[in-house]
Structure 1
Amino acid sequence: MSGFSLTRLIKILLFLFLLIAGLVYARPFLVPLTFAAIMAMLFLPLCSWLEARGVHKVIAILLCIIIMLCSIAGVLWLLYWQVTDLAENAGKIQENFMKRLDQVRRFISSSIGISKQKQEELIQNGQSSETIGHTVSGILSGLGELLTDFILFVVYLFMLLYYRLFLKRFVLMWVPQKDREKTSAIIENCRHVAQQYLGGLIIMIGCLWVMYSIGFALVGVKSPIFFAILCGLLEIVPFVGNLTGNAITMLMVIAQGGNFSMILGILLTYGAIQFIQTYLLEPLVVGAEVNINPLITIISLVLGELIWGIPGMVLAIPVMGIIKIVCDNIEELRPFGFLLGRERTERKTHFADRLRKWRMRREVMLDDR
């Protein structure tokens, strides 16, 4: 029995090793394909709605892609507009930054004992022409890879939407006749989870843009819309993204000559918006469809970053939600589905849940009248 268990354990570890190695090696192929698959689930209802009203399949898919591209272009235009506004004050920002840098150097010199001259030598050694050349080539290479991945993403998105029924029939052909209805239900549940998560996330990011814009404007941050968009977009990386956006905002406020009261105002804005997001927006807009417990969420984010970098962190939550649905519906994998999910005692009653129940009771009372 122990020999059998050891053999089985070795097989499982070997499978996991080969799986992770394959995911790392196939990253250039799998990242745009996975993004396209999840976005196809998001656009599927709109595409089906257009087709049901007589729009040709190709035209319907192209309209969905055009809507996505126009949305991305609109966000990029807003960022460009705000960056242009920041560039007009670049001289003042640089002056304030040099003052702050001088204060930091004095602090390092007095507390650690590294003189300003030694600090200058360290900075110059780190800014050699060879290092700068590597940095520039790395940036250009990264932009080229990003453009290639985006083109592949658009192509994959079109193909997945066009051949969606064909691919579904292909999957069902591998399943025995008696299990096809159940498999079809699993596919629909996976689509629903991805659609609910991404659709809710887009709405929540829009709400965060509005709230951060108002909060930063009241605090006195220059170009508040830029930093609001930045904080909202970074929300696609759970836990880390929002905090990173606010940290960047605080650093820019310091570089712009902001005082302690502005920093405190940004922290209070972040705390208030996090409270609203956690107890109102997430349960009301995103919902509990991706019911992954916090431990697995953090592990998924860390593994996603190690395997695929930032794209892996973005994809970790929806992919893990889909894996949980598959595990919940297959008898042999149900223990893993239980491990990924939350215990019933962990499920709190949010204010949004109470609001939803109150509205339902009110509608029942009105119907009785």
Structure 2
Amino acid sequence: MGLPFQKTNQMITKKKLLFYITALIVATYFLFLGLTKAKGFFAPLLTAVILSLVVLPLSQLMEKKMKRSLAAILNSLLLFLISIGLLALVSYQIRSFAEDWPAIQETMTPKIEQAKEFALEHSPLDKEDIKEAKNDSSGTSSSTSERIKAFMSGLSSFLANYLLTFVYLFFLLNYRDVFKDFLLRIFPDEKRNTVKNIINKSAKVAPQYLLGKLILMGLLAILYSIGLGISGVNNFILVSVIASVLTLIPYIGNIIGFVMAVAFGFLSSGDTTVLIGIALTFTITQFVESYVLQPYIVGEKVDVHPFFIIISVILGNMVWGIIGMILAIPVIGIITVVLLNISELKPFGILLSKRKFSE
């Protein structure tokens, strides 16, 4: 009698496990689907939360000499002006590229023809294939009016979310005690010390990480300027600053920076020596960043294993695009801190962490 009963229990346990796994997969799918659909609401709000944590130490220092509301307004304006400066740098570089586009086309046309001849000689392609590909790409372009409508719609959405971020930032800084008190009161009294500890540790993740990244970006801008200046890249200082800022987007930012340097260097001049100089500059700088600057400057600011950093960046891109990739690391860092400080969830925190835990 005992054996059939044991088999029955095992079957029930397996069915429960299968049910929980299925429920977890379905819940995860709908979570990310919901986040994707609600990007317009959650993206600026989460950005404001991260930015409020970044300027919180400065805000607390300013509050010793002025009212909290005034300090919140000044910090919001400070970040707004910094963001305007970065956008102005990018827009200036785009305008410069647009002005140089006729010269770039004239320089690159012979090289494109050479590439076509090489492809025809060393691949199964023939001229008809290249013509068909060109016709297909030109046929898929939308009309000018549709592109203008799409651009205006995207621009209005961006401006609305952009301004909302700083509105949220002001309220988060000015009324942060209300939110903190709410979090403390929804948990039992015996858990309050644990919750307070989690809040304090989580609040330090974003500013420590971004402060380290700012120092790192400054050093990278110097290294890029030296290398790109020697290589002969036009507007090399501006290109270097933008390329260093793009490192806020993990992994992908370096590729975008390299492509931008190639566009303003090699495409403008058509000189192969410039292309070699750009490639050497980015290769050497990335080596110095990965093995010298990153460990000592950013170091242990975010306790997340590189494998899960890559996964979080990919998921961030799938959900919210570029802003999702930028927010991915501080968010996964905060999640790891929370998991490590809750005993029931600590195994998941250990999984995400890059620290080695003793038995």
The interval holding the TM-score normalised by the smaller chain is 0.7 to 0.9
Instruction: Provide TM-score, normalisation by structure 1.
Output: 0.85
**Structure 1 pair 139–209 and aligned structure 2 pair: CA distance change class (3 A):** farther
**In structure 2, distance between residues paired with 1:129 and 1:5:** 49
Q: 1:2 aligns with which of 11, 14, 22?
A: 14
Q: 1:71 aligns with which of 58, 82, 85?
A: 82
User: Which stretch has the larger CA shift, 212-221 or 251-260?
Assistant: 251-260
Matched letter for residue 277 of structure 1: E
Query: What's the CA shift for 1:35?
Result: 0.5
1:339 aligns with 2:345: no
Equivalence for 1:61:
72
Q: 1:109 aligns with which of 107, 120, 135?
A: 120
Matched letter for residue 105 of structure 1: K
What secondary structure is seen at the aligned counterpart in 2 of 1:288? coil
**Structure 1 pair 226–119 and aligned structure 2 pair: CA distance change class (3 A):** farther
**In structure 2, distance between residues paired with 1:231 and 1:278:** 16
CA contact (8 A) 1:301 1:313 kept: yes
Q: 1:160 aligns with which of 147, 172, 177?
A: 172
Instruction: Provide TM-score, normalisation by structure 2.
Output: 0.87
Equivalence for 2:110:
99
**In structure 2, distance between residues paired with 1:294 and 1:127:** 41
Percent of matched pairs sharing the same residue: 33
- After TM superposition, which residue ranges in structure 1, 4 or more long, deviate above 6 angstroms? none
Q: 1:12 aligns with which of 24, 28, 34?
A: 24
Matched letter for residue 155 of structure 2: L
Unaligned runs of 5+ in 2: 1-12
Q: 1:182 aligns with which of 191, 194, 200?
A: 194
**Structure 1 pair 108–138 and aligned structure 2 pair: CA distance change class (3 A):** farther
**In structure 1, distance between residues paired with 2:286 and 2:136:** 41
User: Which stretch has the larger CA shift, 247-256 or 303-312?
Assistant: 247-256
Q: 1:150 aligns with which of 149, 158, 162?
A: 162
What secondary structure is seen at the aligned counterpart in 2 of 1:344? coil
**In structure 2, distance between residues paired with 1:25 and 1:89:** 39
Q: How does 1:14-93 map to 2 (within 5 A)?
A: 14-53=26-65, 55-83=66-94, 85-86=96-97, 89-93=100-104
CA contact (8 A) 1:79 1:229 kept: no
**In structure 1, distance between residues paired with 2:349 and 2:176:** 26
**In structure 2, distance between residues paired with 1:276 and 1:170:** 45
1:206 aligns with 2:195: no
**In structure 2, distance between residues paired with 1:116 and 1:227:** 37
Matched letter for residue 118 of structure 2: F
Equivalence for 2:240:
228
Query: What's the CA shift for 1:339?
Result: 0.6
**Structure 1 pair 4–279 and aligned structure 2 pair: CA distance change class (3 A):** same
The number of residue pairs the alignment matches comes to: 344
Matched letter for residue 73 of structure 2: L
**In structure 1, distance between residues paired with 2:356 and 2:232:** 44
Unaligned runs of 5+ in 1: 346-369
